[in-house]
Amino acid sequence: MTQKQKGILCIIASSFFFALMNLFVRLSGDLPAMQKSFFRNFVALLFAVMILWKEKPKISLTPKSGLHLFLRALAGTIGVLCNFYSVDHLVLADASMLNKMSPFFAVIFAIFILKEKPNRFQTISIIVAFFGVLCIVKPTGNFDLFPAFIGLMGGLTAGLAYTYVRALGQQGVAGPFIVFSFSAFSCIVLLPYLLLDFHPMTWTQLGMLLLAGLSAAGGQFTITAAYCFAPAREISVYDYFQIPFSALLGFVIFGQIPDWLSWIGYIIICGTAIAMFLHGTKQPNSTTQPPTKS
């Protein structure tokens, strides 16, 4: 299996895990966004610590990789907070649309930071897939300016975080250590808010948040691996699979039935992903070699 194929499988897996995370966050009920965010990252932190303890990978950071690790953690934390804020203050469809700008931004940032330029087919594929997203989420267009700006910043910073994950993978930084650094940083940032505004929880709510954190951990590890394996231009479109996965979970758990426009969106997203995969098999694969170690 090539590095690109591994990256595709990992990013599809991460899409499923993040869809599960959103499901459990919704099932946790009316709790502050900061509290939900803390649990989301705390469980991932515990898993990262256990994996680091078990595998004991060699960790040697250069000044460049240390800076990239900090920027990944900072961008990722801002992305999570912006996403939760937009979900709380915008129509959910609008917030989802803004958050799903992240694959676009990941490709754009990769051009400047990693010098990874997409070809015409990859660019068109990402744009077409985004139109599929629009069919599904059906944004209202009635944006409140400030929350909409915050939501867009969430997509931008998430795309920036994924770009730095790719850079760290090329520099030989272990994936579990990348997840550990991000989770630890975000927990430290969120802890004061949790202590100042902690809301008592039922056992059911606690269980849902722990499951959300477990799902987020799976999503973090797999998306980190994905962007270490392959460039954003080749795999970012597969991140849109989170929306069909969310629709499937919504149908199974809540009995929600998508309308005809949503089905068109699913077909567009899945068709674009298949087209990219088939097109990639006909092209020389620049990601068949492992990421460069340093």
| 153 close to 78: Cβ distance less than 8 angstroms | yes
- Residue 291's pLDDT is 40
- Residue 282's pLDDT is 64
| 190 close to 84: Cβ distance less than 8 angstroms | no
Say how far apart CA 268 and CA 163 lie, in whole Å: 25
Q: What is the mean pLDDT of residues 161-181?
A: 90
Long-range contacts of 265-271 (CB under 8 A, 24+ apart): 265/132, 265/133, 265/134, 265/135, 265/136, 266/132, 266/136, 267/132, 268/128, 268/129, 268/131, 268/132, 268/135, 269/129, 269/132, 269/133, 269/136, 269/240, 269/241, 269/243, 269/244, 270/241, 270/244
Average pLDDT over all residues of the chain: 82
| 220 close to 21: Cβ distance less than 8 angstroms | no
Domain assignment present for residue 240? The answer is yes
* 233 compared with 63, residue with greater pLDDT: 63
- Residue 216's pLDDT is 87
Residues 77-115 pLDDT 10s: 999 888 878 877 776 566 676 777 787 888 889 889 988
Full 3-state SS string of 48-99:
HHHHHHHHCCCCCCCHHHHHHHHHHHHHHHHHHHHHHHHHHHCCHHHHHHHH
Domain assignment present for residue 182? The answer is yes
Residues of the domain holding 37:
3-281
Domain assignment present for residue 286? The answer is no
Residues 181-232 pLDDT 10s: 999 999 999 999 888 888 899 999 999 999 988 998 899 889 888 988 888 7
Domain assignment present for residue 287? The answer is no
- Its pTM stands at 0.78
Say how far apart CA 205 and CA 125 lie, in whole Å: 40
**Least trusted range by pLDDT, from 16-30, 46-60, 112-126, 273-287:** 273-287
**Least trusted range by pLDDT, from 30-39, 71-80, 97-106:** 97-106
How many domains are there within the chain? 1
Domain assignment present for residue 289? The answer is no
- Residue 289's pLDDT is 39
- Residue 141's pLDDT is 65
Residues 113-147 pLDDT 10s: 988 888 888 788 888 877 877 786 677 666 667 88
In the predicted structure, residue 23 carries a pLDDT above the cut 80: yes
Say how far apart CA 281 and CA 212 lie, in whole Å: 35
Domain assignment present for residue 294? The answer is no
